[in-house]
Amino acid sequence: MTELTRDQVRLSRRMSLVLRHRPETAGLTLDANGWVPVPVLLAALGIDRAELDTVVAGNDKKRFAVAPGPDGVDRIRASQGHSRRVAVDLELPPATPPAELFHGTPRANLDAILRQGLRPGSRHHVHLSADVPTALTVGRRRSPDVVVFRVASGTMAAEGHIFHRSDNGVWLTSVVPSQHLSIKRTNP
């Protein structure tokens, strides 16, 4: 994977904004599953297909999925992370999670999470990582002072909690009650 240039990172962020949170800012309407035809996105953002393909291929978290539409025209969507205000169904089937998953977050959130568990906030789901290094990276997006929680996902699944795995490997669930959390690592 080639590292993206500053302009390509800006484009990736713009794509995330319009495909996950505010499609109307680019005059877009997502279908029920979050897809928009690639030619429509290209026109809305004033870019060409080569720029789009570079950003999709170079995105370190594989945030975007491109697939042929039923009409043969390629379409694109965000792999996960949509705001609640964007009604989408990613059609992800339930999946059996590993025994444990991880969630990285700034230490400032520690007390609230220990009281309330993990909640999706403004998103559709709580996002969980398969390993500690990924959880650390996610948590460090907002603060260098990070706590990584271990999630007893196997126990949760046995109790009836539903999990999904997005196209880019992020584990999703509606909520993680505090009794299924323990602190795995703190990062001063």
Confidence of residue 56 (pLDDT cuts 50, 70, 90): very high
Tell me how far apart the alpha carbons of residues 4 and 49 are, in angstroms, rounded to a whole number.
16
For 16-33, write each residue's pLDDT tens digit: 999 989 999 999 999 999
Express each pLDDT in 89-131 by its tens digit: 888 899 999 999 999 999 999 999 999 999 998 888 999 999 9
* pLDDT given at position 187: 59
Listed in sequence order, the DSSP H helices in 46-93 are 49-58
Task: Outline where DSSP puts E strands in 13-162.
Answer: 36-37, 64-68, 74-78, 101-106, 126-128, 146-151
CATH match for 101-187 among 3.30.200.20, 3.20.170.30, 3.40.50.300, 3.30.565.10:
3.20.170.30
Q: Tell me the pLDDT band of 188, cut-offs 50, 70 and 90.
A: low
Split at pLDDT 50, 70, 90, the class of 173 is: very high
Q: What is the pLDDT of residues 125-136, one digit of tens each?
A: 999 999 999 999
Q: Which CATH architecture has domain 6-78?
A: Orthogonal Bundle (1.10)
pLDDT above 90 for 82? no
* CB environment 94-105: b (16+ within 10 A), e (fewer): eeebeebbbbbb
Q: Is the pLDDT assigned to residue 2 strictly greater than 70? A: no
Residue 141's pLDDT is what? 84
pTM value is 0.78
pLDDT value at 164 more than 60: yes
Between 57 and 163, the higher pLDDT residue: 163
Residue 1 has pLDDT above 70, yes or no: no
Tokens of 29: 């309407």
Q: Domain segments of the chain: what residues?
A: 6-78, 101-187
